[in-house]
Amino acid sequence: MSDTEDNAAAQEWPSTRVLTDIVYCGVCTLPVEYCEFAGTTTKCQKWLRNKDVALFAKTWPAVDLTEKMDDATLEEDSTLTKEQKKAEAKAAQEAKKKAAQRLIIKRVERTKRKCVIEVSGLELFGVDLKKAAKLFATKFACGSSVTKNPQGTDDIIVQGDVQDDIYDLVLDTWPQVPEEQIELTEGKKK
């Protein structure tokens, strides 16, 4: 086999170390030594402390001492540094943003008695639009596609008068979409 030949001739090639035990941070995805530059330092520290104390001590030698103090007082009670405040503000903002997300299911008249349904905002809930469009097409036996709207974001257009059915289907299929964030509207196209 050619593979064995490859191995036999391996001496000719420059060698490289092979590292297989690199720990990537579960919060910022960087190698843990770069967590300090990720902007989510406190979260990263917490994550690493829970995961691997020895590595934590190695990566954050300066924090090691305070760690014991933290354990006594409670992790979150450690004095708020500037960075922590920043991160918290960011998290709060994100939560706000999340609450403001809307899934709009709009019925658009095309000709008399015929209409299409525009579903916009589904991607905000982490749904793959292509798959969703396909699902709508099979469920309602009608044409359904992903199109760009004038704002540059993607909509799903469903060719059929199925506004209420979509509402129910969305609630059933994607539990992460809260009912109060779905909006049913009617409108004219263009």
Partner 1 sequence: MFKKFSPKDDVSGKSKVKSSVQRGIRSKILEQYPALNPYIEELMPKKDPLILVKCHDRLNVVMVNDQLLFFNHHDGPYFPTLQILHKFPDIMPQVQVDRGAIKFVLSGANIMCPGLTSKGARIDVDLPVDTPVAVLAEGKEHALALGELKMSTQDIKSINKGVGVELVHFINDGLWHAKIEA
Interface with partner 1 (CB under 8 A): 3, 6-7, 10, 13-20, 22, 28-31, 33-34, 37-38
- Compare residues 20 and 151 and give the one whose CB is closer to partner 1: 20
Nearer to partner 1, 42 or 59 (CB): 59
Using an 8 Å Cβ cutoff, are 40 and 87 in contact? yes
Q: Percentages helix, strand, coil for the chain, rounded to the nearest 5?
A: 50, 20, 30
Strand order in the sheet with 103-111: 144-148, 154-158, 114-120, 103-111, 182-188
Q: How far apart are CA 68 and CA 96, in angstroms?
A: 34
Smallest distance from partner 1 to CB 187, Å:
27
Question: Minimum distance from CB of 171 to partner 1 (Å)?
Answer: 25
* Residue 177 identity (one-letter amino acid): V
Structure tokens at 109: 């008249």
Helix (H, G, I), strand (E, B) or coil at 118: strand
Least gap, CB of 162 to partner 1 (angstroms)? 26
Nearer to partner 1, 35 or 166 (CB): 35
Cβ closer to partner 1: 73 or 81? 81
Q: How far is the CB of 8 from partner 1 (least distance, A)?
A: 11
Helix (H, G, I), strand (E, B) or coil at 185: strand
Q: Which is nearer to partner 1, 35 or 162 (CB)?
A: 35
With 0-12 CB in 10 A as exposed, 13-18 as middle and 19+ as buried, what is 86? middle
CB of 3 to partner 1, least distance (A): 6
